[in-house]
Amino acid sequence: MSTAPVAAPAPERPLPVPTRESQPFWDGMREGRFLLQHCSACGKVRHYPRPVCPHCFSLESDFREAPTGGAIHAWTVCHHPFNFFFKAAAPYIVALVDMDAGVRVNAPLRGIAEADLRIGKRVRLGFEPVNKEVTLPFFVGD
Amino acid sequence: MAHPLREAAAISGVGETAYTRGTTKSALALQLEASLAAIADAGLSPRDIDGVVPYFPGGGIAEDFIANLGLPDLRLSLFVPMGGATCVAAIQSAAMAVASGVCNHVLISVGRTGYSGARVSTRLQQFPQFALAAEFEAPIGMFAPAQLYAQGARRHMELYGTTARHFAEIAVVTRRHAILNGNVVMNKPLTVEEHHASRMIADPFRLFDCSLESDGGAAIIVSRADRARDLKKPLVTIMGVAEGHPESPASIAQRPDLLEFGLVKSAPRAYAMAGVGPKDIDVAEIYDCFTFTVIRQLEILGFCKTGEGGPFIMDGRIGLGGDLPINTHGGLLSQGHVVGLNHAIELTRQLRGEAGRAQVKDAEVGLVTGYGDMGDGSIAILRRAA
């Protein structure tokens, strides 16, 4: 039996596990397209994906490509890495953005200094592949 | 006509373990130790308990209570899965159970090894309510409550000018109260400067804006009011109680207004049931997972207007001797984190006149809130019955 110290395994990145409802959203992300779920009956957009339209209760929906622009609604700057995967990245800004498409997206914001953050500041969503299956969103200044 | 639940039930017993950082006991053992203390406080036998609402997930389930306490005829077993709003919401469920005649004495209990066992990010993986956060937010580096709630706090600061100085006031006053209690994790004074110097966790939350990870157990007994009257301790009745769920309950990000918690819905119902308003409240135990959360709840509760919570809490108002003493036991910020059941225990003791050095003089009516699970909000208004 070896007594040599064993290096701790690198922390794993938490990744989305798509559901039957959300799979088209993540498929879109992988293709670099911001696809959002719309009710096939009343046309209203909803996010995160779910089986029933809360406005008209239709079970039918389709995913349509949506604009990637938006305005900052709120933000936080994450200093403490609750998941050790993010330790190297900390501190990092996570912006909550009112998308022009009518939903919100939470994603890391790059290229804007903390001191320059304002409610209403324009940003644009980008696509960052993290492996063959998963692409995650991020924001940059518009 | 008075609401059928108004004063139909009472909190007849309260109990807790020592609050510590480090224990060799299991969460179940802590929960049962606190439960036995609450049963003894009420002057009941464990055999009298015929309903249980254990905190879930984590700790014991009904089967554990039957096996350990020898319950001869358990008639009701409930979970109230509302995160930090669970314990006070469970008071509503328990009051319904005793008022309807299904039960006589319902045990609400928590056992937690938040320091020596699994920490918050790990615990939340067990919550089905956090599935959306796990899918959409954990991958981009947001999952812990400190991170998820930080954005709402930041928005309040940007819109209304709330500051870190206001947050510090909550932390400092709560610590001052904790020191009077004795059974607390944090027993050294805290200054505004020390608060400001503490490390940033998730801006705008610093370390001393965040509640503790601690080990401990807590329990209360909800009894039918007429039965509680004959028990050992002064009668403390439940005047009003309610739970509320916000829009977009499993995703703060998608909530139209980040600052509209479930308490927006539950507080008016509880006040109406109780027949009292904010001006009638002598003492308030406010769920304090974060300092800001207290400020915003005080606004929602009608003690001040939206946006005025920061200035409202300054100048001694929320300390002992002030207009509205809050968290007189030290709360989750300084006493210990047993999901706010310690807040209900403290309010009961205040109304009995058992709060020791932190006693609010002539406290007759008080309220306690729960907040959690992305913004669920519960409230109970209690009264010392003559």
In this prediction, residue A12 carries a pLDDT of 85
Query: In this structure, which CATH number among 3.40.50.10170, 1.10.260.40, 3.30.2350.10, 3.40.47.10 belongs to the domain B9-117+211-384?
Result: 3.40.47.10
Residue B301, CA atoms < 13 Å, CB-side half-sphere: 34
**Coil, helix or strand for B233?**
coil
Mean pLDDT of all residues in B242-271: 96
Cβ atoms A45, B162 nearer than 8 A? no
In this prediction, residue B121 carries a pLDDT of 72
Q: Using the beta-carbon criterion (under 8 Å), do B158 and A79 form an inter-chain contact?
A: no
Contacts of A89 in chain B (CB under 8 A): 141
Nearest CA in chain B to A12: B139
Q: Which domain holds residue A35?
A: 17-66
Mean pLDDT of all residues in B116-127: 79
For residues A77 and A135, state if they share a domain. Answer: yes
Contacts of A106 in chain B (CB under 8 A): 136-137, 140, 142, 151, 253
For residues A81 and A114, state if they share a domain. Answer: yes
Contacts of B203 in chain A (CB under 8 A): 76-79, 91, 114
Contacts of B146 in chain A (CB under 8 A): 80, 82
Q: What is the pLDDT of residues B349-361, one digit of tens each?
A: 999 999 999 999 9
For residues A55 and A89, state if they share a domain. Answer: no
- Indicate whether A11 belongs to any domain: no
For residues A93 and A138, state if they share a domain. Answer: yes
Mean pLDDT of all residues in B248-266: 96
Question: How many domains is chain A partitioned into structurally?
Answer: 2
Closest chain A C-alpha to B297 CA, distance in angstroms: 19
Q: Using the beta-carbon criterion (under 8 Å), do B158 and A94 form an inter-chain contact?
A: no
Nearest CA in chain B to A99: B254
Size of chain B, expressed as the number of residues it contains:
386
- The CATH code of the domain that includes A112 is 2.40.50
Q: Sort B237 into a burial class: Cβ within 10 Å, 0-12 / 13-18 / 19+.
A: buried
- Indicate whether A138 belongs to any domain: yes
Q: What is the pLDDT of residues B177-227, one digit of tens each?
A: 999 999 999 999 999 999 999 999 999 999 999 999 999 999 999 999 999
Closest chain B C-alpha to A1 CA, distance in angstroms: 30
Nearest CA in chain A to B204: A76
- Indicate whether A86 belongs to any domain: yes
Nearest CA in chain A to B255: A104
Which residues of A, range 99-118, sit inside 8 Å of B by Cβ? 103-108, 114, 118
Contacts of A47 in chain B (CB under 8 A): 254
The beta-carbon neighbor of B138 closest among A14, A22, A118 is A14
Residue of A76, A79, A104, A109 for testing the chain B interface, max B β-carbons within 10 Å: A76
For residues A87 and A131, state if they share a domain. Answer: yes
For residues A40 and A90, state if they share a domain. Answer: no
For residues A98 and A129, state if they share a domain. Answer: yes
Q: Place B58 in a pLDDT band, splitting at 50, 70 and 90.
A: confident
The beta-carbon neighbor of B154 closest among A74, A106, A136 is A74
A28 touches chain B (CB under 8 A): no
| Interface size, chain A vs chain B, as Cβ–Cβ contacts under 8 Å | 105
The beta-carbon neighbor of A107 closest among B140, B147, B155 is B140
Q: Which sequence spans correspond to the domains of chain B?
A: 9-117+211-384
Q: What is the pLDDT of residues B96-107, one digit of tens each?
A: 999 999 999 999
Q: Using the beta-carbon criterion (under 8 Å), do A48 and B158 form an inter-chain contact?
A: no
Q: How far apart are CA B69 and CA B57, in angstroms?
A: 20
For residues A72 and A51, state if they share a domain. Answer: no
- Exposure string for A60-90, b = 16+ CB within 10 A, e = fewer: ebebeebebebbbbbbbbbbbbbbebbeeee
- Indicate whether A4 belongs to any domain: no
In this prediction, residue B118 carries a pLDDT of 82
In this prediction, residue B87 carries a pLDDT of 98
Beta bridge partners of B300: none
Count of beta carbons in the 10 Å neighbourhood of residue A9: 6
Q: Which amino acid is at A59?
A: L
So what's the ipTM on this one? 0.94
Q: Using the beta-carbon criterion (under 8 Å), do B201 and A48 form an inter-chain contact?
A: no
Residue A8 has pLDDT above 50, yes or no: yes
Closest chain B C-alpha to A39 CA, distance in angstroms: 17
Question: Which pTM was predicted?
Answer: 0.96
For residues A58 and A25, state if they share a domain. Answer: yes
Annotate B134-189 with three-state secondary structure. HHHHHHHCCCCHHHHHHHHHHHHHHHHCCCHHHHHHHHHHHHHHHHHHCCCCCCCC
* DSSP code at position B129: G
In chain B, count H helices and then E strands: 13, 11
Contacts of B114 in chain A (CB under 8 A): none
Q: Place A1 in a pLDDT band, splitting at 50, 70 and 90.
A: very low
> For chain B, what is the mean pLDDT?
96
For residues A80 and A140, state if they share a domain. Answer: yes
**Coil, helix or strand for B71?**
coil
- Indicate whether A5 belongs to any domain: no
Contacts of B254 in chain A (CB under 8 A): 47-48, 103-104
Lowest mean pLDDT among A129-133, B115-119, B126-130: B126-130
